Amino acid sequence: MGNTWLIALQTHWCIPDTLLLRNPCESWYTEIMITMPSETIAAIHDTPHRLVFEFAGAGSLALYWLHSVPGSSRTVLEATDRYAGASLADLIGRMPEKFVSADTARMMAEFAYRRAMRLTDGSTPCLGVACTATIATDRAKRGSHACSIAVYDGATLRSFDLTLTKGARDRAGEERLISLLIIRAIADACSVTAPDLALEPSETLNAHEEPHPDPLTLLLRGDIERVFVSMDGRVHLESAPPVALLSGSFNPLHAGHEQLAQAAATLLGAPVAFELPVLNADKPPLGYAELERRLDQFRRRYPVVLSRAPLFVQKARLFPGCTFVIGYDTAIRIIDPRYYDGEAGRDAAFALIAAQGCSFLVAGRVKNGVFRTLADIDLPSLLRPLFRELPERLFRVDLSSTAIRNAYSA
């Protein structure tokens, strides 16, 4: 009966393999329960922090401990064991140069934090917790036994690197020590006192803390005006300025958007980046969860520019020299004097766009059964130099974004 209970518990809580098929009354079980920092974990559960935990190589015991103390549903949002290399690469967008390293742990923690923010939509303090480790196994390892742990709260990145003394502990002992360090790292981020670690004299724990504001939070809060998201999903404050931008809500990103970007790139001889404004003149601003959902569509496919610029005159200030790729409907709308309190306001706005060296590339669109192009638009003479037509031979998609969105949701 005891063995059956433990096998089921191992399946659910990921107890290390070395702990299987023993009776709970044996010394190893007692040692785990004594080692478990239950008071620290209870104090963590009493804070408002919610976390997503990503671990590879070790750390399953930390998850078991978190769930063993009542209140874990207030703390743990999600946990994933990234044991296969492909699973870890799926999280961080690429194969890491080194699996067990501070850089890998930090990337894992950043993505874990964003996942936590998506699950809560930023309604509570969130933590991204990560551990990547290599420990004793059933074969001799030439490299060190070590771990890198990172905890990210959207403002501060805390990292902990430990190289273990080979042979000083068995696999279960190394798992126990690393899990204690994970709990201690979480406690530190929650301002909770944690017990000291029992390290060997030859072992040194290197801890590092640095300010690291989350760019997405800064953007949504209005502290910055733009950020750049690379194909692997990482967010950067600076990047090479885009030559051309295709702006939209991308709800969803569909083949029409992709074909338009490709056609424009062919004509311009330069890549076209997608731009997603988090503010919209006619709709509510995006929240963290919705922003992450839309970004998922681009990951591993296209880089994305995020901005707080719903209007083209604002975009021109952020992206001087840029060509804005737009459709026929958008072209009609942006030259309408009603949106500028008259012709004088419109002409002044386009003068600012021209002063930034920006222009428009206009794709055609079917309206009332007729394919309409730039030639069908009555452009004021002052604006004509800023507009250029994308030929029908390069791009024509007759479905609207609304129709495609309705098809997706059907």
Answer yes or no: are the C-beta atoms of 32 and 13 closer than 8 Å. no
Mean pLDDT of 10-16: 38
The pLDDT value given to residue 282: 81
**End-to-end Cα distance, the chain:** 50
pLDDT tens, 111-156?
999 999 999 999 999 999 999 999 999 888 889 999 999 999 999 9
Answer yes or no: are the C-beta atoms of 316 and 356 closer than 8 Å. yes
Q: What gap in Å lies between CA 13 and CA 16, rounded to an integer?
A: 9
Mean pLDDT of 93-98: 95
Q: Tell me the pairing of strands 323-327 and 76-81.
A: unpaired
Whose structure tokens read 């300010």?
Answer: 211
pLDDT tens, 283-327?
899 999 999 999 999 999 999 999 999 999 999 999 999 999 999
Q: What gap in Å lies between CA 306 and CA 280, rounded to an integer?
A: 12
Answer yes or no: are the C-beta atoms of 273 and 335 closer than 8 Å. no
Identify the CA nearest to 13 among candidates 79, 101, 98.
79
- Determine the length of the chain: 410
Q: What gap in Å lies between CA 144 and CA 168, rounded to an integer?
A: 12
Q: What gap in Å lies between CA 362 and CA 329, rounded to an integer?
A: 9
Please say if the pLDDT value at position 4 is more than 70. Answer: no
Please say if the pLDDT value at position 48 is more than 80. Answer: yes
- Residue 406: both structure tokens together: 């309705």
Please say if the pLDDT value at position 14 is more than 60. Answer: no
The pLDDT value given to residue 195: 86
Answer yes or no: are the C-beta atoms of 102 and 148 closer than 8 Å. yes
Whose structure tokens read 């790139």?
Answer: 265
The pLDDT value given to residue 408: 60
User: Sign (positive/negative) of CA torsion 274, 276, 277, 280?
Assistant: positive
Mean pLDDT of 151-163: 98
Please say if the pLDDT value at position 18 is more than 60. Answer: no
**Residue 140 buriedness (CB in 10 A; 0-12 / 13-18 / 19+):** exposed
The pLDDT value given to residue 165: 96
Query: What does each C-alpha distance from 250 to 254, 295, 312, 345 come to in angstroms?
Result: 8, 9, 17, 29
Q: Give the rounded distance of the alpha carbon of 258 from its chain centre.
A: 22
Please say if the pLDDT value at position 11 is more than 60. Answer: no
Whose structure tokens read 């976390």?
Answer: 51
Answer yes or no: are the C-beta atoms of 327 and 365 closer than 8 Å. yes
The pLDDT value given to residue 398: 87
The pLDDT value given to residue 141: 86
pTM score, whole prediction: 0.90
pLDDT tens, 72-94?
999 999 999 999 999 999 999 99
The pLDDT value given to residue 283: 87
The pLDDT value given to residue 406: 66
Mean pLDDT of 239-254: 96
Instruction: Tell me the domain boundaries of the chain.
Output: 2-212, 216-409
164 phi/psi in degrees, rounded to 5: -85, 155
| Homologous superfamily in CATH for domain 2-212 | CinA-like (3.90.950.20)
DSSP string spanning 331-347?
HHHHT-GGGGTSHHHHH
The pLDDT value given to residue 20: 37
pLDDT tens, 201-234?
999 999 999 999 999 999 999 999 999 999 999 9
353 phi/psi in degrees, rounded to 5: -65, -45
Where would I find the beta strands (DSSP E) of 222-337? Answer: 226-229, 235-236, 244-247, 272-277, 304-307, 323-327
Please say if the pLDDT value at position 26 is more than 80. Answer: no
Identify the CA nearest to 325 among candidates 256, 244, 406.
244
Q: What gap in Å lies between CA 184 and CA 187, rounded to an integer?
A: 5
How many CA atoms does the CB half-sphere of 390 hold within 13 Å?
30
Region 216-409: CATH code: 3.40.50
- Residue 6: both structure tokens together: 């433990």
Please say if the pLDDT value at position 31 is more than 80. Answer: no
